[in-house]
Amino acid sequence: MEVSIKPEILTSLGPLPITNSLITTYIIIAAILIVAFRGLRKLKEIPGRFQVIQEAIVETWIGLCDATGGMNTRRFFPFVTTLFIFILLSNWFGLIPGISALGLNTLHEGKETFIPLLRATTTDLNTTLALAIVSVIYIQMEGIKSLGIKLHIKKYLKNPLKNPIDTFVGFLELISEFTKVLSLSFRLFGNVFAGEVLLIVVTSLIPLLAPIPFLALELFVGFIQAFVFAMLTLVFASMATTSHESTGGESHN
């Protein structure tokens, strides 16, 4: 039973190490691209089974965007849905039976060790951290875009002479932007990684039939975590695009 928190490095491209989770990331990206292109090229009036699934995902997220902040939040829909699909596939990738058995035996520090070729993307903290940073930067950019840079920065930096409590609140808001990165990335990583460890432990205790309910649980957890990540991004973005000063809660454009 071996659990490694770091992704294994397979080779390196110059100074860039190529890890097994990176390979998985590109496999997933390729899969999404192929499915998206194939689905978009042959759109039909009467949708086939394949198109129905795609339409269902799109419709659900458009509905969620509308429910969160009206038509105004609909522009977050492409980003948020992409996040959802990518994270969902990454989470589920690790659940494909036998995926971690694919690997190479290599000599490492004098003894032979097994290195799996593929690793679920979101069990690598680098990936989740990158996703979280990208989504927070996106949130900030949307905030600047709809409020203007002056009004946006005013959320964080307030004149202490006017109202010292407001200055402190603004400071807390600034910190909370960094906590967003931390909690978004670690939530996703923690849940998926813990699920993987749970599956390993259960499989090593009772290999026959016992892991099946846990696999089902992990399918559910993977879905929920992808949903939560995308939903939180949506909610944060719709909060960032509303000014704190205006009481109506409407953004400027």
Partner 1 sequence: MDGLKELGMGLAIGLGAIGPGIGIGILVGKALEAMGRNPEMTQEIKTNMILGIAFAEAIAIYALVIALIIRFV
Cβ 29 to partner 1, closest distance in Å? 26
CA-based end-to-end distance of the chain: 56
51, 72, 113, 183: which one binds partner 1 (CB under 8 A)? 183
Contact between residue 138 and residue 79 where contact means Cβ atoms under 8 Å apart: yes
Which one of 18, 27, 228, 239 is in contact with partner 1 (CB under 8 A)? 228
Query: Within 10 Å of residue 89's Cβ, how many Cβ atoms?
Result: 21
231 binds partner 1 (CB under 8 A): yes
Which 8-state DSSP code applies to residue 8? Answer: P
Q: Is 118 in the site for partner 1 (CB under 8 A)?
A: no
Interface with partner 1, residue 232, by CB under 8 A: yes
For the segment 11-40, give every residue that binds partner 1 (CB under 8 A). none
- Is 56 a residue that touches partner 1 (CB under 8 A)? no
CA atoms within 13 A on the CB side of 134: 12
Q: Is residue 77 near partner 1 by the rule CB under 8 A?
A: no
Report the residue number, 115 or 228, with the smaller CB distance to partner 1: 228
What stretches of the chain show up as alpha helix (H) in DSSP? 20-41, 49-69, 77-93, 125-147, 149-154, 164-205, 211-240
The answer to the question of residue 235 lying near partner 1 (CB under 8 A) is yes
Q: Token pair 């109506």 is at which residue?
A: 248
Positions that interact with partner 1 (CB under 8 A):
5, 64, 67, 183, 186-187, 190, 194, 224, 227-228, 231-232, 235
